Amino acid sequence: MRNYSVAGLCSSAAIALAACAAAPSTPEAEAGPAGAAGTPHWETVWFDDFDGDSLDRERWAPEESCWGGGNNERQCYTDRPANIQVEDGILRLIARKETYTGPLRADQHGSEEREQPYTSGKIRTRGLADWTYGRFSARMKLPEGQGTWPAFWMMPSASIYGRWPLSGEIDIMEAVNLGTPCEDCPTGIENRTSGAAHFGDVPPDNTYLFLKIPGETPESPADEWRVYTLEWGAGEMQWLVDGEVFMRLDADDWYTGSANADGRPYAPFDQPFYLMLNLAAGGNLPEKSNEAGFDPDSFPAELLVDWVKVEQCAGDLETGLSCFDRQAWAGTPKGPWEVQAR
């Protein structure tokens, strides 16, 4: 959820999907059958179903920052119940209209501060858990409204190849302005989510690849629970919604401008990454998409998360590829040169 143009806006894009049941469920109900003994299979290595009445601080660390994510977002992320709640087995990240002053950058308390007109929640596993290769899933219900921007994404734990995006970024799910009029949507209403990978050289020579779901049915990810998944292995990534592949990339599709990548054919996506969930208020992408601008009536808004699960390929931890869901897929990822006003 970073810069969306090659020159520095944040990217996202979209997807196509099937519907999930309306009531919360356990991840076991969503998982496929376990592999036979000795057969590579996905095995859960990290999981949070948000049981209890507070965030598990051994799994997640809230971010506190007001810098706007590099996208002119309008919120401060806070570590307060007003913005991060766990209740009835559901994580709620809540964006609200309220003037708030906090640290400009995360982890820089006592230094420069900024005032913003909105607050929201962002949590991450940075410093607590990270992974190289695996299957990363979350079951979520997304907010509606012009200016809303929920995301489920991954960033590198260490900048082995250099600053963003030399070390890469993986956006498992993003959505903007759900439920608003959309000229290029088949139903005329925005009901699409997206996945993307960011890579390349330092801005303005950064780039990305993405794809949007077709959005050919009226069902909205704001009205029903859906499972958003990334399968990531050595030299390959694929994105799924409710078990259906909507985008696939391999190492021929990405690169890094870092000299540290010499002799590493899968760089930058060959290092440990951590998970994040957040709900942004405004920013370059939503405010330049759909009806354009920012609608204060979209807030308060909530990103609801039923569970988050990380699996790794037992029997093939080195590459993870033996566990991939090998569906037929004939789509074509898009790049920033194909982005049109939305």
Neighbouring CB atoms inside 10 A of 35's CB total 16
Contact 132, 271 (CB under 8 A): yes
Q: How far apart, in whole angstroms, are the C-alpha atoms of residue 230 and residue 151? A: 13
- Measured CA to CA in angstroms, residue 135 lies from 19, 47, 240, 313, 325 at distances of 20, 12, 10, 8, 10
Nearest CA to 196 out of 177, 179, 213, 182 is that of 213
The percent helix, strand, coil of the chain (3-state, each to 5) is 5, 40, 55
DSSP-derived 3-state class of residue 175: coil
Question: Which listed residue (63, 64, 174, 302) is catalytic?
Answer: 174
Question: Which listed residue (63, 73, 169, 190) is catalytic?
Answer: 169
Q: How far apart, in whole angstroms, are the C-alpha atoms of residue 28 and residue 19? A: 17
Dihedral of alpha carbons 66, 70, 73, 79, sign: negative
Q: Is residue 291 among the annotated active site residues?
A: no
Sequence-distant (6+) residues with CB within 8 A of 271 are 132, 156, 157, 158, 160, 161, 167, 168
Q: How far apart, in whole angstroms, are the C-alpha atoms of residue 203 and residue 166? A: 10
Q: Is residue 28 among the annotated active site residues?
A: no
In degrees, rounded to 5, the angle at the alpha carbon of residue 54 between the alpha carbons of residues 44 and 69 is 80
Q: How far apart, in whole angstroms, are the C-alpha atoms of residue 286 and residue 69? A: 13
Which residues are annotated as catalytic?
A: 169, 174
